[in-house]
Amino acid sequence: MSLERAKEHLKKYGLEGKIMEFAVSSATVEEAAKALGCSPGEIAKTLSFLVGEKPVLIVVAGDVKIDNSKYKVFFHQKAKMIPVEDVEKMIGHQVGGVCPFGVLEGVEVYLDQSLQKYEVVYPACGNSHSAVRLTIRELEEASCYQEWIDVCKE
């Protein structure tokens, strides 16, 4: 269901042909990089946070981590990830397939500057056995992002 919702979303942008499905898991950065034959940094991992009571997604390069002090400067609060058991009902995708495509209404998406060093990135596509190959420009358009932010450290 989640994969279908992501596919329908990407279809609006003519990107459904770039979706890949795998026989192996792509749930983690390492698994996705292995399945795709790319570097971990090229995996665009989508992290789920609560800002107040509001769900927020931040898409970051696969080889970086959230910098808590940068996060706090931008969002004016300490980083609080959505509990694993609540991700699907708050975002619309299950852990391992969270992506910025076909998310539930009201979920804001941000793109981290760590992605800008790549021409092409591979976000998940709604489940733990999928990805989509996108240029940064395609990611910007299809993610309906709010803005580029800088909340990560190498």
What residues does each domain of the chain span? 2-153
Which residues lie across from 108 on neighbouring strands?
Answer: 56
Q: What is the pTM of this model?
A: 0.96
Q: How far is CA 68 from CA 64, 78, 79, 111, in A?
A: 12, 7, 6, 16
**CA-angle at 68, arms to 127 and 149, nearest 5°:** 65
Is the model's pLDDT at 118 over the cut of 90? yes
2-153 under CATH 3.90.960.10, yes or no = yes
Per-residue pLDDT tens over the stretch 11-21: 999 999 999 99
pLDDT digits (tens, 9 = 90+) for 12-69: 999 999 999 999 999 999 999 999 999 999 999 999 999 999 999 999 999 999 999 9
